[in-house]
Structures are given as C-alpha cells and as structure tokens.
Structure 1
C-alpha cells in the first residue's frame, strides 16, 4: 500500500495562540514565509497553518482539519476572528486596563510597561486608528498605572513641553525615556537601591547611537527615513538588541511580553507592515 504523505521544507514559524495584539506580527511573518511562497502547494500551506496555531486560534479552525481545499477559507476565518483592526484596538485597551502597575524599585517592570505602551503605536497608525491614540480616556487609563510621584512629574513634563493636549504617544515616549534610564543603571548600583518620591523623574538626556543627538534611536528622524530593512541592518551594525534597541549581551534583555517576529524579537519600528 502506498501512503500519501506531505513533505514539508523546514521552516521556523512561531505559534499563534489567539492573542489579538500578536496577530499582525504573526500573520505578516506567516504570509512572507508560507502564504506567498510559490514553492509550496496548498496542502503544504494548510499543514503549516494548522501546525502553527494553538489554543483559541486552533479551536477556531479545527473544523477545517488539514484539508488543503479549505486553505483560503481557513485564512479568511482567522482574519475575521483575530485580524479586524477594531478587535486589535479593543484587545490592546483591555490589556492596558489589566496591566499591573510598574514598581519604582523594580526597573524591569518599567521596561515591560514601556515596551507594552509603544508596541501597538505603529500598528494603530497603519490601520488609521490614530484617533484612538489621542483620546483623553486612553491616556488616563495609562497614566493611572503610575504612582502619585510619577504622575506629578508627568504633569510637569507636559507643561515644560507645552503640550496642551497630551496623548498616548507623548506618554509612551516619556515612559520610554525613563525606562532607558533604568536600563543604564548597573545591577550593582541598583541592587539595593529604592527610588523614593524625592527622586528626579522625567525623561533623561539620551544620545542616539546613529546621529548622537538628544533622542533615542527609535525616534531618530534619520533612522525613520530608512526602510524597515535598512533599520534592521542598522541595528545589527550597531550591535544593539533588536527587541529594545539597547546595548547589552545576547539573551540579557529584561523586557517581558516580547513580540515574536520569526526567531528574533523585533522592536516596533523594525517590523514589516
């Protein structure tokens, strides 16, 4: 008896669980490696698809099994359930509401909070949801994650920068500056140091690794003029962490909740649309 088997080229594809905030990253990579790959048959594409979804995502297409005839219907069902821009926005706001408050004596919590705030900004702009970034309700939700001392410093920052209507983008940039300052503190100095309300808060002076101006690489005008692939090449050339754009050893990135992109963790400004 001859058995019908499907031979699959070896491809490394992260699993998609059904997390709305990770759909765009996952599906962009899946399209580039599998969906638009003319060297794969429909049956092979369906096998890759079914093998790369888990949990809620797997349950949503379980009825299609591994039948290649339903590949395009399966893609459409996943997109309908997880890929609608409004669902992504709602998912982000839901996670923001549940996000734990960062602690002043644990710098990793600020790094995680900073990455979470910034990760969807490019995605919102891509889908023309910038209006959601500018609502006072969203900013208030994010600001309430801070303690009273930091809220006061944030208010001082908005006045010093003449921001009559600050929004989530302004707030994310400010938190990111503080997170960068935390990352620059050596573990030896920070091991038993507790930050108090008398500390000087606010965005510190940072030097861009590309142009040496007073901003970080993620907001460097010269860097943002480059294509995504040129930015990725710049990060490799400067030997920076592709997840947080900071200089530290491989595997030492302290940011939690990283956004998967293939085998690497890419900062939001490095992701392909």
Structure 2
C-alpha cells in the first residue's frame, strides 16, 4: 500500500500494491507496477521497500525470499533473487503462449465469455510483445486460435462476416467480437426488461381475475351479490329464497360455510344472525324468518304454549265423602298442587296430608292459592 502525497490540496486515493503468487503470466504486470511505485521510489528507504515486497508476495513467490533476513541491506538481494527466479524470458514466453491455448471453449453465446477471451488474448499478446516477440505478424494464427474458443453460433457469424472482407486482420476480428458482445448484452438487458414487464402484466391480470373480484352468483357479473341490482330489486322473501338456492350463508351472503360458522357481524336492525338485506320487520305482511340451518335448529328454544292432558278424579275428604275434581297430568312435575277452594271442600287443614285418589295414594306438598 502506497500513500500518495497531496497535490494542490487534493487528497489522492491510496494505491493498493498488486499481489504476486508465482504465476509467470502475472509476473510482468507485478514487476512493472512494483518497480514504478516502490523499487525506483527515492523517497522510500530500503527497509521499507523490503517490507512492501514481503507484503506483496504470496504462495510460491513468498517462498523464494522467505529465508532471507529482514534487513535494509538484504532488500536488493531479495529483489534480485526474485527477478532471477521469474525474469526467465523463455519460461515467460512459453507460459503466455500456453495461457492462450488452454482457454476453455465456449458452449453457447455469452457476452461475458467473449469479453473474457478478448481480455486474455490481449493481455498475453501485450506481454509477448514486451518480451520481444513480433506478435504483429501473428494475425492469422491468433484469429484461428481465438475462433476455436468461440461457441458454434458466434463462429458461424464470423464466417459470414469475414466473407465480406478483402483482407482479414486481427483488429477486424477483435472489432467483430466486441460488437457481438455488445449485441448480446443489449439482448440480455431487453429480455430482462420484457420479463419484468410480463411479470407486471401477470400481476395486473391477476388483480383483474376472479381471485380479487368474484362474480355475482346471481347475475354472473363482476360484483358482489349485495351490490347486485337484480338481488336488491327482489322482495325480501325472494332474496331469502335466492340465498337458499345459491347455497349462500344467510349472514354474510357468501358461499362455503353455514350461518353458525360465520364470523361476520349480525343484522344491524335486530342483531340476529342474518344479513340486514334479509331482515323483515315484525308485523310486516311479508314477514318470513330466514331459513335456519339444521345445525342451529336444535339450539332454538320452544316458545309455543304446551298442552297437558287432564283427568276427572274422585277424592275422599276428611268426612269420608267422595268429591269430584279435575287433575292436570304432568309427568315432569316433582310436586303435587291443589286449589285452596278444593282444600276447604275436602275439609283439610294441614300442609301435608295423605289422601286417596281413586285408590292411588298421593301426598299434598304445596298448596296453590287460587283467588
């Protein structure tokens, strides 16, 4: 890391030194950068240069100078040892040429893959030129090698393109690849825009489907039944009948459940469990209670009067005289009653007296006063 000085009161950004791990194809870039920033910088002492050098090396490159003691006088020794190890032009040329041959061919059209091929070949050709190789005469060889790394579609497009050229150069081929990559990127961007647009259209379509705006079960238009003019124009009795035929809940006018399971509010007029549109005022000539579900019918309490059977019985009074009386037979009663008039007629005065009613014994447990 090298911190540059201020110029005209402008703070320049910090330059990060490149890392070198021992790959020959990376050596020239690392060497030129390190020499420019550190090795030939007169404002940095040797011990600091040695520190920067050790911090920039990793892997096999770091092993080369690991055994050298960290001191000011050893910096030049470490730098020369590193240059002797990697400044081997024969090995550098061989590795840069090999880097162009070992590229994995593309299987399909890809802007990223085409640009990667362009960058790898350009970098290695510049390095070979720096090492003294006359790469300016390699156009035919490089075009053939690069074309072999392309996908079938791009390679076929190049065959069509070069048929229009009188003399084919590497610059022509590079220009073709750059235009092809630009075209693929544009198509990719447009496809993403179309996908986004189609997704929005699908969402809008869903908003307009029956999921969000159910059809009226009565007239089949896109509104709810309590907004249906046909339903609202019906009499209350007809609305109740329509709800029954359509198998709607009488409370919320929606299908799929019964009244006793409905969680919606009750009638706003009488607070009973039916929709306000099905409410009828008491005394109305059209008053008909909404149909009640079987599940709720059991919970409805009986409010109609109950008739009990009676019988004429003969009762013996205290004077052993027989008297006629009418008895009410209630099998659910737990007590026996008689009127005060009958009590005086029988000449009975006690609260609890054993009497005989046509041969059947009964006990008077309570006297009912009849005015």
- TM-score band by shorter chain is 0.5 to 0.7
Query: How far is the alpha carbon of 1:55 from its aligned partner?
Result: 0.8
Structure 1 or 2: larger strand share?
A: 2
Q: 23-32 or 45-54, which moves further after superposition?
A: 23-32
Structure 1 counterpart of 2:183:
181
Indicate whether 1:89 and 2:55 are aligned: no
Give the TM-score normalised by structure 1. 0.56
Indicate whether 1:35 and 2:39 are aligned: yes
1:27-176 → structure 2 map (5 Å cutoff): 27-131=31-135, 134=138, 137-163=141-167, 166=169, 170-176=172-178
Query: How far is the alpha carbon of 1:72 from its aligned partner?
Result: 2.1
RMSD: 3.2
- Per-residue CA deviations over 1:54-102 (Å, capped at 9, x if unaligned) read 0121122222242332322322232233234443332222222222222
Work out the CA distance in 2 between the residues paired with 1:88 and 1:170.
Answer: 28
CA contact (8 A) 1:20 1:82 kept: yes
- Which structure would you say has the larger RCO, counting Cα contacts within 8 Å and 6 or more residues apart? 1
Structure 2 counterpart of 1:15:
19
CA contact (8 A) 2:110 2:181 kept: no
Structure 1 or 2: larger helix share?
A: 1
SS of residue matched to 1:160: coil
Work out the CA distance in 1 between the residues paired with 2:193 and 2:105.
Answer: 20
Query: How far is the alpha carbon of 1:122 from its aligned partner?
Result: 3.0
SS of residue matched to 1:67: coil
CA contact (8 A) 2:47 2:72 kept: yes
SS of residue matched to 2:67: helix
- Per-residue CA deviations over 1:100-129 (Å, capped at 9, x if unaligned) read 222434322222222212223333333331
CA contact (8 A) 1:114 1:172 kept: yes
CA contact (8 A) 2:106 2:149 kept: yes
CA separation of 1:161/1:24 partners in 2, compared to 1, >3 Å: closer, same or farther?
same
Unaligned runs of 5+ in 2: 4-13, 196-371
SS of residue matched to 1:69: coil
CA separation of 1:90/1:173 partners in 2, compared to 1, >3 Å: closer, same or farther?
farther
Structure 1 counterpart of 2:322:
none
SS of residue matched to 1:102: coil
Give the TM-score normalised by structure 2. 0.43
Indicate whether 1:24 and 2:28 are aligned: yes
CA contact (8 A) 1:14 1:52 kept: yes
CA separation of 1:179/1:139 partners in 2, compared to 1, >3 Å: closer, same or farther?
same
Work out the CA distance in 2 between the residues paired with 1:125 and 1:135.
Answer: 13
Unaligned runs of 5+ in 1: 1-7, 194-273
- Per-residue CA deviations over 1:147-202 (Å, capped at 9, x if unaligned) read 334333333333422236x55x6544432332233344453426999xxxxxxxxx
Which protein has the larger Cα radius of gyration, Structure 1 or Structure 2?
2
SS of residue matched to 2:160: helix
CA contact (8 A) 1:46 1:68 kept: yes
CA separation of 1:20/1:173 partners in 2, compared to 1, >3 Å: closer, same or farther?
farther
SS of residue matched to 1:16: coil
SS of residue matched to 2:74: helix
Q: How many residues align structurally?
A: 184
